[in-house]
Amino acid sequence: MNILVTGGAGFIGSNFIYYMLKKHPAYRIVCIDALTYAGNLETLEKAMENPNFRFFKGDITDRKAVYALFEEEKFDAVVNFAAESHVDRSIEEPEIFLKTNILGTQVLLDASRKYGNIRYHQVSTDEVYGDLPLDRPDLFFTEETPIHTSSPYSASKASADLLVMAYYRTYGLPVTISRCSNNYGPYHFPEKLIPLMLINALEGKPLPVYGEGLNVRDWLYVEDHCKAIDLILHKGRIGEVYNVGGHNEKSNIEVVKTLLRILGKDESLIRYVKDRPGHDMRYAIDPTKIQNELGWEPETSFNDGLRKTVNWYLANTAWWQNIVSGDYMSYYEKMYKDR
């Protein structure tokens, strides 16, 4: 198979590329990535040594470049990770989210139609379902839960999902969608909760917890997400949505305190700061469909995954130090100075 992976220089896309090159050594993987602030070629250094891997710097909204790549490569499948992915940034500047996440998806769908009705998988998110109340632990997101978005980010991802399903119904494009909960693991960009807290704690900086830290996220080790996408790509039913999550709900403050414990750092580093506007309270996935239909099960427990993640960041200081020393500092100033 020749697979196009978009956004492969980012967190989950890069983990997926490494997963696929190992699991399917005969496959060719081509990555298109615009290398925005979140994309990092150093992340793909080891993949570059593999003759079955090709990196192409390009923007998924650039129709001409995307069509030329499809024409040249004759892909068998497309897995679309490329996106603006950070909720806080979408609150500050929504427009680029609409451009990349919606219009970029449309370009990829058009290319997939034009160059042979190519198998298309959209990497979506549980955030399209909105949130659940804290006092109803019996409620979970199923694939039937109505779309009910909160942030410009989730609205753009939901719009993309609707387009994907429209291309299935109208043109018969062979599509699937996965909606996963919060991932963590190696190569996670330090604007997101776990790597941000980890790095701040290592550097002895305050840990900015939004609101009271009671919001709940359903954490999944990134490799378990990659495994789910691989299964859906090969065995998923066309035209279907699959929720991905491992029943691992934790409040933010619980996550931060666990990290501090693993690092042997003091809880006095914690600062409660102004809440995120429109902050979703709780995400919780019901993964019954992917478990029953595809036999998917998460393999890494939160304790093991968090320890592996901490060890990875300790062993790869150059990777994150290069990031936090550049434009990231102005981002951090802007987002956290007056919080």
Q: Is residue 85 at the binding interface for ligand DAU, with CB under 6 A as the rule?
A: yes
Tokens of 52: 């079955």
Q: Choose between 165 and 269: whose C-beta lies nearer to ligand NAD.
A: 165
Number of residues lying near ligand NAD (CB under 6 A): 31
Q: Choose between 6 and 173: whose C-beta lies nearer to ligand DAU.
A: 6
Site for ligand NAD in 108-137 (CB under 6 A): 123, 125
Of these partners, ligand DAU, ligand NAD, none, which one is at the site of residue 7 (CB under 5 to 8 Å by kind)? ligand NAD
Helix axes 317-324, 302-315, angle to 10 degrees: 80
Other CB atoms closer than 10 Å to residue 319's CB: what's the count? Answer: 17
Q: Is residue 249 at the binding interface for ligand DAU, with CB under 6 A as the rule?
A: no
Q: Is residue 181 at the binding interface for ligand DAU, with CB under 6 A as the rule?
A: yes
Q: Is residue 83 at the binding interface for ligand NAD, with CB under 6 A as the rule?
A: yes
Strand partners, 244: 180
Q: Quick one: which of 15, 19, 108, 126 contacts ligand DAU (CB under 6 A)?
A: 126
Residue 185 gets which letter from DSSP?
S
Cβ contact 190:324 at 8 Å: yes
Q: Is residue 306 at the binding interface for ligand NAD, with CB under 6 A as the rule?
A: no
Of these partners, ligand NAD, ligand DAU, none, which one is at the site of residue 43 (CB under 5 to 8 Å by kind)? none
- Name the minimum Å distance from CB 182 to ligand DAU: 4
Q: In whole angstroms, how large is the CA radius of gyration of the chain?
A: 19
How far, in Å, CA of 116 to CA of 138, rounded? 44
Cβ contact 133:112 at 8 Å: no
Name 4's Cβ contacts closer than 8 Å, sequence gap at least 6.
30, 31, 32, 69, 70, 73, 75, 77, 78, 79
Q: Choose between 176 and 265: whose C-beta lies nearer to ligand NAD.
A: 176
* Chain position carrying tokens 């978009």: 6
* Chain position carrying tokens 């997400």: 225
- Name the minimum Å distance from CB 279 to ligand NAD: 16
Which is it for strands 28-33 and 53-57: parallel, antiparallel or unpaired? Answer: parallel
Of these partners, ligand DAU, ligand NAD, none, which one is at the site of residue 252 (CB under 5 to 8 Å by kind)? ligand DAU
Q: Quick one: which of 19, 28, 39, 305 contacts ligand NAD (CB under 6 A)?
A: 39
Tokens of 134: 């804290």
Other CB atoms closer than 10 Å to residue 266's CB: what's the count? Answer: 10
The residues of the shown chain that bind ligand DAU, judged by CB under 6 A, are 85-87, 125-127, 181-182, 192-193, 196, 208-210, 215, 217, 252, 276, 283
The residues of the shown chain that bind ligand NAD, judged by CB under 6 A, are 6-7, 9-13, 32-36, 38-39, 59-61, 81-85, 100, 104, 123, 125, 157, 180, 182-183, 189
